[in-house]
Each structure stands twice: as C-alpha cells, then as structure tokens.
C-alpha cells in the first residue's frame, strides 16, 4: 500500500467529496507507485487551522512514493495530485499543499 495522508479542515469537505478524493488519491497511488493508497484521513477541528497567522481553508495531501524520484518525475506528479484536490475539493491552487515524499 502507498501511504497517503490527507489533512483537511472540518466542515469543508462533504462525505461525497471525501469518498471521491479518497478514491482518486488511491488511484493516483496505484497508477504511479504500483499499489493503492492507504488513506490516513485527518480532520482538523473547525477553527483550528491557520495559514499566515489567520484562519485558513488549506488542505495538505502527502503521498509517499515507492522509489526515489528525480525532479523531472516528481513535478508532473505533484501537478497531477494537486489537480485532483483542486477539482474534487473545490479548492484554489493556493489552498492546496501537495507533497510527494521519497521512501525512508
């Protein structure tokens, strides 16, 4: 399984959106890293997320690759992952932080 941590803020993602985001993120992991995503869905309680010192609506999605990636490999994947979250979470680019980690 590919480890995927999705940190979202309470009240901003509907159950239907969550199901789609989990499925799409898992499919992303399967496509690029060979195994489906094991989704660790973390909900930040409402009013407990800040960006630049102000209450925020940011989401953070972090996926661990199955191998060490060169920038030429990682950057397109970051764009694809971000696009999944922008589309299905209805977020702007500035609200999505995407991370693709090398395995430890």
Partner 1 sequence: MPLYIVNAKAGALPEEAKPKIAADVTRIHCDVTGAPPQFVHVFFFDDGPMPPLGDKSVMLYGQIRAGRTDAQKAQIASEMVASVAQHTGLASDQVHAFTTDTPASWVMEGGDVLPEPGEEEAWLAAHEAKLAAEAAQ
Site size toward partner 1, by CB under 8 A: 31
Q: Is 34 left (phi over 0), alpha (psi -120 to 50) or beta?
A: left
Question: Site for partner 1 (CB under 8 A): which residue of 7, 23, 36, 57?
Answer: 7
H or E segment and range at residue 27: helix 15-33
Q: Which stretch binds partner 1 (CB under 8 A): 15-23, 29-37, 38-46?
A: 38-46
**Closest C-alpha among 5, 16, 4, 36 to residue 88:** 16
Q: Is 100 in the site for partner 1 (CB under 8 A)?
A: yes
Residue 32 dihedral angles phi and psi, to the nearest 5°: -105, -25
Q: Is 45 in the site for partner 1 (CB under 8 A)?
A: yes
Residues that bind partner 1 (CB under 8 A): 7, 42, 44-45, 47-53, 55-56, 58, 60, 71, 74-75, 78-79, 81-82, 93-94, 96-102
């Amino acid at each position: 399984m590919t480890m995927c941590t999705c940190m979202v803020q309470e009240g901003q993602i509907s159950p239907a959106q969550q199901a789609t985001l989990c499925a799409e993120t898992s499919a992303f992991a399967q496509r690029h890293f060979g195994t489906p995503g094991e989704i660790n869905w973390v909900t930040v309680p409402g009013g407990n997320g800040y960006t630049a010192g102000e209450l925020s609506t940011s989401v953070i999605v972090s996926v661990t690759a199955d191998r060490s990636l060169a920038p030429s490999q990682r950057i397109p994947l970051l764009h694809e992952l971000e696009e999944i979250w922008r589309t299905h979470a209805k977020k702007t680019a500035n609200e999505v932080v995407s991370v693709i980690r090398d395995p430890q």
